[in-house]
Amino acid sequence: MTGPAIPPAAEQERTGGGLFVTFEGGDGVGKTTQAALLDTWLSERGRTVVRTREPGGTEVGELIRDIVLHHRGDIAPRAEALLYAADRAHHIATVVRPALERGEVVIQDRYLDSSVAYQGEGRQLKPTQIRDLSLWATGGLLPDLTVLLDLDHGVARGRLDADDKPFDRLEAEREEFHARVRERFLAIARAEPERFLVLDASRPASDLAADIRARVEALLGGVPDARGSVGAHG
């Protein structure tokens, strides 16, 4: 059985002058911190930013998030993958595409690469089928930039332990699961180097933020500030 075909390039086109930036990586690598720093930097310079996440980001998505991350019983791997795809389809249609069409910057914590890594590799479903499913669900939408924060799982787990919060269903998986997830993320980045910025997440947060700002600024052709001028900003 084969997965649904990847939509043709024409279906991946979009209107508007927005920018779609996603953050990926294992749990505990610092995605939320970096997304918040980028949001603040862009907002201070007059850009309209929509910051969101998957799973979640909509009322429907939050219900799905509660199921996939906090349901106490077992969820079959294929069912889990379909739940993530359903969340993604609604989220892109109702939040992300409209924002991009308005010319806004969308900063998103996790997208289809997480499904390829966690369900495709971690759950040992076929990564290509999981990717195809997400592309079908979203009409072929890919980010302009994906920031992959890479970190040894043991170090990342130590950060999660320090937070002193209960682990969700995926965070609680065994080390072998998270090792497979990390390797798949890196494999995706190697296959699509033009889309990815891979950063060593053990570096200081300020250094990572500077690298991310530089790439985003290049994609935007200079970031307009609150006065409407365009140019380099430190």
Name the band, by pLDDT with cuts 50, 70 and 90, for residue 27.
confident
- Domain annotation for the chain: domains and CATH numbers: 17-220 (3.40.50.300)
Query: Where is 23: in which H helix or E strand?
Result: strand 19-24
pTM of the model: 0.85
Tokens 């996440």 belong to 53
Across residues 3-18, what is the average pLDDT? 53
Helices (H), the chain: 9-12, 31-44, 59-70, 77-91, 97-101, 112-115, 127-138, 153-163, 175-191, 205-220
CA angle 165, 167, 172 (to 5 degrees): 155
Across residues 97-123, what is the average pLDDT? 96
Task: Indicate the SS3 state at residue 214.
Answer: helix
pLDDT single digits (tens) 170-206? 666 678 888 889 999 999 999 999 999 999 999 999 9
Name the band, by pLDDT with cuts 50, 70 and 90, for residue 3.
very low
